[in-house]
């Protein structure tokens, strides 16, 4: 199931509000210098790009701007130089692989502001592409310093933010610039906003969520936000143990934040008051240690032994989740249901992922997922491509799900 880029005038609803954005198809770009914030914070091995996923994500926006005759000037950060020039954190190594992907030259400037940047930008022809040096080499970037933002803006006529993954940071290149130049979301950013809008903004109902992971403490804001918005919420992974303990169940030697039992009960009460059905495991897969090929057992909740480790949702729990998906029109997913990295404790996550992928590919559900472990789990199950949308944005995706305002998104509103 595909989400088309249909944001006419950029209308996006979020947490009950309407946010409107200019979109690139309304912009006069020919001959304009387009400052484009991208996410090129890529994995590196031996000084070379080890995974070009983030480069590929930027290609549609770069190609569109180039085809429209803009001079494309790319801004990005790499690693954490903390406002100082760190040669091994230079972005220079990205220019060549990006050039190959674009099938056109990519000029590189040894600075993102000042004469070095201006010289490269001024030399661009219409449709040309340049990559400027790591914006985090300047302390003003992370401080969102107005003077640094003005120095960046000096090399642009329009600003395009195509880095949703950095949109939760109020930095000069992600937030400050948007107030100095006509600002637009890039195509990747636009698609992400549409997907999130389809999942939480104005979703087709009923809506089911899956939240997994090891600890409740890391996802309190997320759980509190989702139980007020969803029709059903399945809780899995280690955090489910805390909820089971809060209900009075013995979880043996499992990971469990027992000090958060009251908090878990508050979330359960909030869900009940909001009419959100919580789906907690009704059976579990246990073992005495976490290792491949260990002896496992399926236990009912009243059968968990003192030395048992709960490492996955049981088959009955998994089937109940699949049935709930069948009754839903929208799914939003963050976090695995068990220790999926160590088979056989991946069975519940894989079965749920495959079912979600099947429903999405058949057009029966809008399935949006995100978060590092979630992406890995979907790839492990081989179904990432079947989902409606999979976000690789990490922190920004999580903060959006928590109902928080993302500075880099809000700055584009207009």
Of 372, 394, 403, 404, the active-site residue reads: 372
Distance CA 302, CA 249 (A): 7
Contacts 24+ apart (CB under 8 A), 87-91: 89/134, 89/136, 89/137, 90/133, 90/134, 91/40, 91/131, 91/132, 91/133, 91/134
Distance CA 63, CA 157 (A): 18
Let me know if 338 is a catalytic residue. Answer: no
Q: Are 55 and 94 in contact (CB under 8 A)?
A: yes
In the sheet with 366-370, reading across from the earlier edge strand, the strands are 277-279, 232-235, 207-211, 330-334, 366-370, 389-391
Let me know if 238 is a catalytic residue. Answer: no
Let me know if 372 is a catalytic residue. Answer: yes
Strands 12-14 and 17-19: antiparallel
Distance CA 309, CA 324 (A): 26
Of 54, 71, 219, 232, the active-site residue reads: 54
Distance CA 237, CA 245 (A): 13
Of 354, 395, 403, 404, the active-site residue reads: 395
Query: Would you say how long the chain is, in residues?
Result: 414
Which tokens go with 351?
């079965």
**3-state secondary structure string, 207-245?**
EEEEECCCCCCCCHHHHHHHCCCCCEEEECCHHHHHHHH
Tell me which DSSP letter residue 136 carries: G
Let me know if 54 is a catalytic residue. Answer: yes
Decide: residue 338, CB within 10 A, 0-12 exposed, 13-18 middle, 19+ buried.
Answer: buried
Tell me the three state secondary structure of residue 49.
strand
Distance CA 86, CA 128 (A): 28
Of 143, 150, 215, 404, the active-site residue reads: 215
Q: Report, as residue numbers or ranges, the catalytic residues.
A: 54, 215, 372, 395
């Amino acid at each position: 199931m595909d989400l088309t880029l249909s944001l006419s005038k950029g209308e996006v609803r979020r947490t009950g509000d309407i946010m409107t954005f200019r979109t690139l198809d309304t912009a006069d770009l020919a001959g304009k210098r387009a400052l484009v914030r991208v996410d090129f914070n890529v994995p590196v091995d031996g000084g070379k790009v080890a995974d070009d996923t983030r480069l590929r994500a930027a290609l549609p926006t770069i190609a569109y701007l180039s085809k429209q005759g803009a001079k494309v000037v790319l801004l990005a950060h790499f690693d954490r130089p903390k406002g100082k020039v760190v040669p091994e954190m230079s972005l220079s190594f990205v220019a060549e692989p990006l050039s190959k992907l674009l099938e056109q030259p990519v000029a590189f400037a040894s600075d993102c502001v000042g004469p070095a940047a201006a010289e490269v930008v001024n030399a661009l022809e219409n449709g040309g592409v340049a990559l400027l040096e790591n914006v985090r080499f300047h302390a003003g970037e992370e401080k969102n310093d107005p003077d640094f933002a003005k120095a960046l803006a000096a090399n642009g006529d329009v600003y395009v933010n195509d880095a949703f993954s950095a949109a939760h940071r109020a930095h000069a290149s992600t937030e400050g610039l948007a107030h100095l130049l006509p600002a637009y979301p890039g195509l990747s950013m636009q698609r992400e906003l549409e997907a999130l809008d389809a999942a939480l903004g104005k979703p087709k109902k009923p809506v089911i969520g899956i939240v997994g992971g090891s600890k409740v403490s890391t996802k309190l804001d997320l759980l509190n936000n989702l139980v007020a918005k969803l029709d059903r919420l399945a809780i899995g992974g280690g955090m489910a143990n805390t909820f089971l303990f809060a209900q009075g169940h013995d979880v043996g030697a499992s990971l469990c934040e027992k000090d958060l039992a009251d908090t878990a009960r508050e979330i359960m009460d909030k869900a009940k008051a909001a009419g959100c059905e919580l789906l907690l495991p009704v059976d579990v897969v246990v073992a005495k240690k976490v290792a491949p090929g260990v002896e496992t057992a399926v236990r009912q909740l009243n059968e968990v032994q003192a030395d048992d480790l709960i490492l996955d949702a049981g088959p009955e729990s998994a089937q109940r989740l699949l049935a709930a998906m069948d009754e839903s029109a929208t799914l939003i997913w963050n976090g695995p249901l068990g220790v999926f990295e160590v088979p056989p404790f991946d069975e519940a996550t894989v079965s749920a992922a495959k079912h979600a992928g099947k429903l999405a590919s058949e057009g029966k559900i809008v399935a949006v997922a995100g978060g590092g472990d979630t992406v890995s789990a979907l790839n492990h199950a081989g179904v990432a491509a079947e989902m409606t949308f999979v976000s690789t944005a990490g922190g920004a995706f999580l903060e959006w799900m928590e109902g928080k305002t993302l500075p880099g998104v809000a700055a584009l509103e207009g």
